Amino acid sequence: MEDFYKEYILDHYRNPRNFGHLERADAAAEDLNPLCGDKIRFELEIEDGRVKDVRFSGKGCAISQASASMLSESIKGEKLEDVVRMSREAVLENVGIGISPARMKCALLGLKVLKSAALGEIAGWPD
């Protein structure tokens, strides 16, 4: 079978890490993939410019959910500036399965939402 439904993808899909909401979020964002209706929300707790805690929520396919779940694991303790600079390639590598062009948006929706949460926080910095 194709390599693209590996065990760990299903595991993240059925047992997403950091799923839910934060009691106190410093930054949050959500977006919809208009083509399929998938929705993801990221909430961040920030301390000293670093991600102290993170939750994501929403619904969607195994690829979007697993990608967001893995993403949430990989950013704890990271600097916001680094989160904002995270590359698509890094995320795709993390997901670790071949993603067809048609599913690219699924795999990257989490990253898009996470970055807008982080960017919103950075833009709001001065106050």
Partner 1 sequence: MIATLGSDARARALAKDFPILAQATSRGKRLAFLDSAASSQKPQAVIDSLVHYYTHDNANIHRGVYELAARATEHFEAARAKVAHFINAAEPAEIIWTRNVTEAINLVSYSWGLGNLKPGDAILTSQLEHHSNLVPWQLLAAKTGAELRFIEVDEHGIHQLDDLDERLRGVKLVALSHVSNTLGTIAPLETIIPKAHAAGAVVLIDGAQSAPHMKIDVRALDADFFGVSGHKMCGPTGIGFLYGKRALLEAMPPFLTGGDMIKRVQFTTTTFNEIPWKFEAGTSNIADAIALGAAVDYLEAVGMDWIHAHEQAMTAYALERMRELEPLGLTLYGPPNPADRSGIVSFNLGDAHPHDVASILDTEGVCIRAGHHCTMPLMEKMGWTATARASFYLYNVEEDVEQLIAALRKAAQIFKLG
Q: Which spans of this chain sit near partner 1 (rule: CB under 8 A)?
A: 1-2, 4-5, 10, 13-14, 32, 34-38, 59-63, 65, 100-103, 106
Judged by beta carbon, residue 65 or residue 72, the one nearer partner 1 is 65
Judged by beta carbon, residue 44 or residue 109, the one nearer partner 1 is 109
CA distances from 124 to 26, 45, 56, 119 (A): 10, 14, 21, 8
CB 62 within 8 A of CB 9: yes
d(CA 61, CA 125): 34
Judged by beta carbon, residue 90 or residue 104, the one nearer partner 1 is 104
CB 70 to partner 1: min, Å: 16
